[in-house]
Structure 1
Amino acid sequence: MAMQNIVNKLENTDLNDEKSSEERSSSSSEDECEAIPDFPVAMWDFNQCDPKKCSGRKLARMNLVKCLKPKQRFHGLVLTPTAQKCVSPSDRDIVEHKGVAVVDCSWAKIDETPLAALKPAHGRLLPFLVATNPVNYGKPCQLSCVEALAAAMYITGYKQEARLYMGKFSWGHSFEELNRELLEIYARCTDSKSVIKAQNEYIEKEQREQENRKTTSDFPSSSDSSDDDDE
């Protein structure tokens, strides 16, 4: 990552935080049931990922997502790289009434995946966020299925539902910990344009701060200068 504060956060984020995992597992089953989405959650699985590492398939086994056939239509919000708009809080009504879906495919095979055939009515991109899944840890915008779904839920006002989904993974807590500031910024926006504006302002600010830190570090410290001793 180019932005130093993101790097620092990554270094301080433990993927195997056993204490956090225990704290999450201690939550009552009643609270968990309350956080289960009332709206449909689905995915298209193009069988391009390692089944043992695929977060989407794990969610499917837990009945937290419905698997769609390649040509099956979904009328809710669809997270796909072919979209022209960014997800925003204004999409809450779509998620509430029609649900949210994600495309499960390998980032290395995006170009050969028939995404155009999905023809979603409400296709959406996700704004800048950093992945914390074990496969793409620390990489910007290369989120796993569960991270993408959780991000969309969080931004559209379904924070508890997002935490429920991320809580199904031992590393899940790190996603919100690392991206909390950005997620909160996006969740306070109004529409797609304001999300993009907030994203760009955040990135520009971090780049300026990084440049300032670099410039400051280029100057010699007082300990580097030698005093002339009188003889």
Structure 2
Amino acid sequence: MGKGKNRVVKPRRRDKPPKERNAEEEEDEEEEELEDESTSEPGTDEDASPSDDEFEFPFRLAMYDFNQCDPKRCSGRKLLRAKLINEVKLGQRFPGLVLSPTGTCTLAPKDRGFVEQNGLCVVDCSWKEVERTPLHRVKAPEHRLLPYLVAANSVNYGKPCHLTCAEALAAGLYILGFQEAASELMKVFSWGAHFIELNKEVLDLYAACHTPEEVIKAQNDYLERIDKEREEQSRALDLPPSESESEEEEEEEEDGE
């Protein structure tokens, strides 16, 4: 993901001896370092600074990987290789919000403040293996579901809710009000921009809401409307010919005789 704010590291003074630490203090420090590494931003060091033309993401993006997908086709792995997100080890805690099948509440713009402070994460597992996946190893204070969206990836194109990791993260960014970040994330994929185009109408509806309840209502209203439109289109195709059309057909048949 994009680079976060640089941390200033003060040099240790050489005129003072190092403070003695007991074993418990050293143990606590090692645990803190491990947690920092699990959620640190890839491709970042303390002296690095983003270039002028490099997009800076507003917060950390991460992924729990259950290694159930083909590495060559996995969108999450591709984002990792591009250093746009980082991986959180299974069993380790992510401090922010995770888009996960275990969520009991739908993501909503109301979550923006928490995500800005703590980051956004996604679970990478196969849709075919969800029921057998040990999702209890995904540890985070907040878990959310995504509302209705249609996949644009080549494997599940057109299927409702069967999104890749990249699509899920982009949808989350868009709904939370970070539309530019969503577009930047999807530039890695040839089909990335099409995902947002395909879902733009409903994504804008979700982004205009505030609470999960409002998002669900927007989703249901949208689905009801498109169902009606499909029914009307289908009815128009199945309509019997009008009287004038029937008369013309009869005249043609008589002329033919």
The answer, yes or no, to whether TM exceeds 0.5 is yes
Matches of 1:171 and 1:180, distance apart in 2: 14
Query: Is 2:189 the partner of 1:169?
Result: yes
CA displacement, residues 124-155 of structure 1 (integer Å, 9 cap, x when unaligned): 00000000011111111010011000000000
TM-score, length-scaled by structure 2: 0.74
* Greater Rg by CA: 2
Alignment equivalent of 2:235, drawn from 204, 211, 215: 215
Cα distance change of structure 1 residues 135 and 30 upon mapping to structure 2, 3 Å threshold: farther
Secondary structure of the residue that 1:39 maps to in structure 2?
coil
- Residue identity (%): 51
Question: 2:144: which partner in 1?
Answer: 124
Alignment equivalent of 1:190, drawn from 204, 210, 213: 210
**Structure 1 residue 226: deviation in Å?**
2.8
Query: Is 2:242 the partner of 1:226?
Result: no
TM-score, length-scaled by structure 1: 0.82
Code of the residue aligned with 1:174 in structure 2: it is: H
After the TM superposition, which residues 87-106 of structure 1 pair with which residues of structure 2 at under 5 Å, given as runs? 87-106=107-126
**Structure 1 residue 116: deviation in Å?**
2.2
After the TM superposition, which residues 118-157 of structure 1 pair with which residues of structure 2 at under 5 Å, given as runs? 118-157=138-177
Question: 1:12: which partner in 2?
Answer: none
Question: 1:15: which partner in 2?
Answer: none
Matches of 1:108 and 1:117, distance apart in 2: 18
**Structure 1 residue 206: deviation in Å?**
0.8
**Structure 1 residue 224: deviation in Å?**
4.4
Contact 2:64 2:138 in 1 (8 A): no
Matches of 1:61 and 1:214, distance apart in 2: 46
**Structure 1 residue 119: deviation in Å?**
3.6
Matches of 1:158 and 1:30, distance apart in 2: 20
Matches of 1:119 and 1:170, distance apart in 2: 32
Unaligned runs of 5+ in 2: 1-50
Determine which structure has greater relative contact order: mean sequence separation of CA pairs < 8 Å that are 6+ residues apart, divided by chain length.
1
Matches of 1:133 and 1:203, distance apart in 2: 21
Matches of 2:159 and 2:172, distance apart in 1: 18
Contact 2:92 2:139 in 1 (8 A): no
Superposed CA RMSD: 1.8
